[in-house]
Chains A and B, each alone.
Chain A
Amino acid sequence: MERQEIIAGLVEILKTVRTIDQSRLDNVTEETDFIKDLKTPSTEMINIAAKAEQKFDVEFDDDDIDDLGSKVKDIVDLIIKSKEA
């Protein structure tokens, strides 16, 4: 699965999270920071991770979620790593 395809899928997830400013979703890149750039409440990160597991048919390790960074590339990396596991 291409990284850009994963990012597009993540944006689809973010569109379902109403506490994120939807106007900021037009230019999401690997360097976009969920918390700094999208103003995502930190409590929503676990919801995004859980939705990513379902959308990409993967299961994250709890330790990996604990260590997850707040940039888009961090979750893209985790999805790819989990796909390969």
Chain B
Amino acid sequence: MAGDRRVAIVGMGGSFPGGNYLDQFRQKLFAGESLIRDWDEAKAHGKNIRSQICGFITEAEMDIEAIYSTISPNYPETFIDHLGRIPDANLSTADVGSIWAMLGTQEAIKQAGWSKEETESEQTGVVMGSGSAGHSILRNAWHNFFELKQKTRLAGSHTVDRTMVYREAANVACFIKNKGVVEAIGSACATGLGNVGYAYRLIKFGIQDRIVAGGVEPTSLETFIGFDAMQVLSKGFSAGESSRPFDEDRNGFVCSFGCGIVALEEYESAKARGAKILAVIDDYYNNSDGDGNMFFPSFDGQKRLWKGLFGDKPFKADVVKVHGTSTPVGDAVELLSVVDIMGEEGYHISAPKSQFGHTLGAAGAVELISAVMMLEEQKVLPCLNSVNLDTELADYQQEQDWTGPKKSLAAYRHLISPDVISKEINTIVCLNYGFGGTNSAMTISRDI
């Protein structure tokens, strides 16, 4: 019956902060390492940039190399794939993020074990997006036209395909030649989970049987400086100590970049062909705060999110993978809403941004992959640098109309571990939010 189909995660891939492929990413996460580094590209701008740390990925780390134009200085006209994974024709229409998306898709489909016929089917879709534009390509085109007063053709014929909103999905579709849905969902920092959630619904309701889905945020100084200008990035800590969700000294998030891709498949068909089920997606729900505030998180919006996710079922999870950005306001509201719904015992909170920063449009997908890894490893990833939690109540907790928990964050210390914890994990709730008041939540479980 339509709407009753279950959905399995059968493959994963991507490019991860710190310049890591999937296996390196897993190894470093569970070793409790930080993937955040000093960023020379930001440091080169001296005092004009406030934050100079980042979970960036270089081209060389993904075994690709930019080929610069002979007529337009500093313009990456195309790329070379040193490992021969992507044909030149596909590389010529891609920005760095689209290349990461193609590589991640290739890896995820390989793990899924989809045949060529299945991959190229009308029942196979591509649903992925990013939080920003193809800045590194636009930078050159706009500079040439507006500042240097050059003809438009000096920017070349690939400014559109390399920068359009759904460029990753388009490039992946041309790469794998699927004949089903090709779309991108955009919801700021909830983009990654939003795309996977939309893909889940397409399979659940019988519109597609298989989808590669995810989120991407290509390394871009333009993206970085936008947030830097808002003064919302972490400042004053060494790279490894800069992302510190829930810690009382947190003062902003770490801007990072990456790409997470998952291969989703209708559960029964995946089981029937003997695919390894990495996780089952139980539910997905998303909503809007509805309070007219672009930036400030909403306690009520997040509570409605949970209620929409679980419906009439009891609120139950072994781990809550929070958005946990390391911002003063966001972390507090989120922790209080989680405790209000889930209570004070019986689960752990994981904030993987403490290890690799905030990958923006990729965050929901990259962190979903980290959650799947927690299911596989039966370990809770640590919340690095959460040394001392707030001992004071937030202002809004002291107002008369506050209906949430009336304890300070320090009362929930036992839910948040700075170290990796081994325990039985059957279900994880994944949470991500974005500017504009958009909230997304997904429940995933072990296939047992």
Contact = CB atoms under 8 A, between A and B. Distances in A.
A44 B71 contact: no
Contact of B71 (A19, A50, A65): A50
B156 A50 contact: yes
A18 interface: yes
Interface stretch (B85-93, B386-394, B414-422): B85-93
A43 B158 contact: yes
Interface string A1-35: 00000000000000010110000000000000000
A35 B330 CA distance: 55
B156 A19 contact: no
- Chain B CB count within 10 A is highest, among A47, A49, A54, for A47
Nearest to A65: B153
Nearest to A59: B151
B48 interface: no
B156 A41 contact: no
A19 B70 CA distance: 16
Interface string A44-73: 111101110010000000000100000000
Interface string B139-162: 000000000000101101110000
A19 B92 contact: yes
A54 to B, nearest CB: 5
Contacts of A18: 67, 78, 80, 88, 91-92
A60 B71 CA distance: 15
B157 A16 contact: no
B88 A46 contact: no
Interface of A is mostly: helix
Interface string B69-107: 011000001101000000011011000000000000000
Contacts of B151: 50
A54 B70 CA distance: 9
Interface residues of A, number: 14
Contact of A49 (B89, B91, B153): B153
A41 B89 contact: yes
A35 B332 CA distance: 60
A48 to B, nearest CB: 10
A61 to B, nearest CB: 11
A35 B67 CA distance: 23
Contacts of A16: 67, 70, 77
A3 to B, nearest CB: 22
A85 B421 CA distance: 76
Nearest to B90: A19
Interface string B53-78: 00000000000000100110000011
Nearest to B154: A50
B70 A51 contact: yes
A54 B156 CA distance: 13
B153 A46 contact: yes
Contacts of B70: 16, 51, 54
Given A16-B70, A18-B80, A54-B71, A47 B157 contact: yes
A19 B88 contact: yes
Contacts of B71: 50-51, 54
B83 to A, nearest CB: 16
A19 B157 CA distance: 13
A43 B160 CA distance: 11
Nearest to A21: B88
Given A51-B70, A54-B70, A19 B89 contact: yes
Nearest to A45: B157
- Chain B CB count within 10 A is highest, among A16, A44, A49, A50, for A50
A51 B153 CA distance: 10
Interface in B191-239: none
A59 to B, nearest CB: 8
A41 B201 CA distance: 37
Contacts of A47: 77, 153, 156-157
Contacts of B80: 18
The 7 A-B residue pairs with the shortest CB-CB distance in the complex, in nearest-first order: A18-B88, A43-B157, A54-B71, A50-B153, A46-B157, A47-B156, A19-B92
8 contacts: A16-B67, A18-B67, A18-B78, A18-B91, A19-B78, A46-B153, A50-B153, A51-B70
